[in-house]
Amino acid sequence: MSTPDFRELPADRVDEAARRLLGWRITANGVTVRLTETEAYSGLGEDPASHAHRGRTARNAVMFGPAGRLYVYQIYGMYFCANVVCGEDGRAAAVLLRAGAVVDGEELARQRRPAARTGAALAAGPGKLMQVLGLDRSADGTPLFGGGPAVLSPPDGPVGPVSAGPRVGVTSAHDVPWRFWITGDPAVSAYRRHTPRRRPSAAP
């Protein structure tokens, strides 16, 4: 039995879709990145860390389908993050592209990320990945299998062992082990455990 395409999986198996996307390649603006780290997000109350857990809005509408499109949003007012929409139409699910290895167009990638000290560090983070691909919010809602600025293609072969752990940068459900990465791959983002903010203690 062949391994199903991630687009064939229902929204309640978005974690499996995140696993399956490892090793896939995304190409845009002269650079190709092999995905080494992903992170799954469900929606509609099932996952409080998801942008869609309170329902559809103008911002998150792309998350509700169809599968195989890019959901792009901005963080900290300066960095863009790319997500691959998964699951059936009408039910929100997306996989954050957390990191990857540049496998084609490294010279261009270095021009876009001159601060990177090594090749492995070029796309080792969601914002960095978008920088090397030269993508921004204008790619939101575009198809990944033809007709859009980015193209997604399956891996050439097995990706090897996969590790799983808690998600990064979310304040809710951060311990859910829906972050996946290719074990031992150097092009993976640095993990920083969530530390809740402490309210200042009241004056005595």
Question: Quick one: what percent of the chain has pLDDT higher than 70?
Answer: 87
Least confident of 117-131, 133-147, 188-202: 188-202
Distance (Å, whole) CA 121 – CA 124: 5
Confidence of residue 204 (pLDDT cuts 50, 70, 90): very low
Spatial CA neighbour of 108 closest among 81, 131, 124: 131
For residue 203, the model assigns a pLDDT of 40
- At 41-55, the pLDDT tens digits run 887 677 766 777 777
CB 82 within 8 A of CB 72: yes
For residue 195, the model assigns a pLDDT of 53
Is pLDDT at 77 greater than 60 in this prediction? yes
Distance (Å, whole) CA 91 – CA 162: 27
CB 187 within 8 A of CB 100: yes
In the chain the beta strands, taken as DSSP E runs, fall at 25-28, 31-41, 70-75, 79-85, 94-104, 150-153, 162-165, 179-182
What is each CA distance from 94 to 88, 121, 175, in whole angstroms? 11, 24, 18
In 2-75 the beta strands, taken as DSSP E runs, fall at 25-28, 31-41, 70-75
For residue 44, the model assigns a pLDDT of 66
Distance (Å, whole) CA 141 – CA 131: 18
Distance (Å, whole) CA 175 – CA 191: 13
- At 163-185, the pLDDT tens digits run 999 988 766 666 778 899 999 99
Is pLDDT at 201 greater than 60 in this prediction? no
Is pLDDT at 200 greater than 50 in this prediction? no
Query: What is the residue extent of each domain of the chain?
Result: 6-182
Mean pLDDT across the chain: 88
Continuous H helices in the chain: 14-21, 106-112, 126-133
* Mean pLDDT in residue range 133-149: 96
Spatial CA neighbour of 5 closest among 120, 123, 140, 152: 152
State the architecture of 6-182 in CATH terms: Roll (3.10)
* Mean pLDDT in residue range 130-159: 95
For residue 67, the model assigns a pLDDT of 94
* Mean pLDDT in residue range 135-161: 95
Spatial CA neighbour of 152 closest among 11, 34, 57, 36: 34
> Comparing 199 with 94, which gets the higher pLDDT?
94
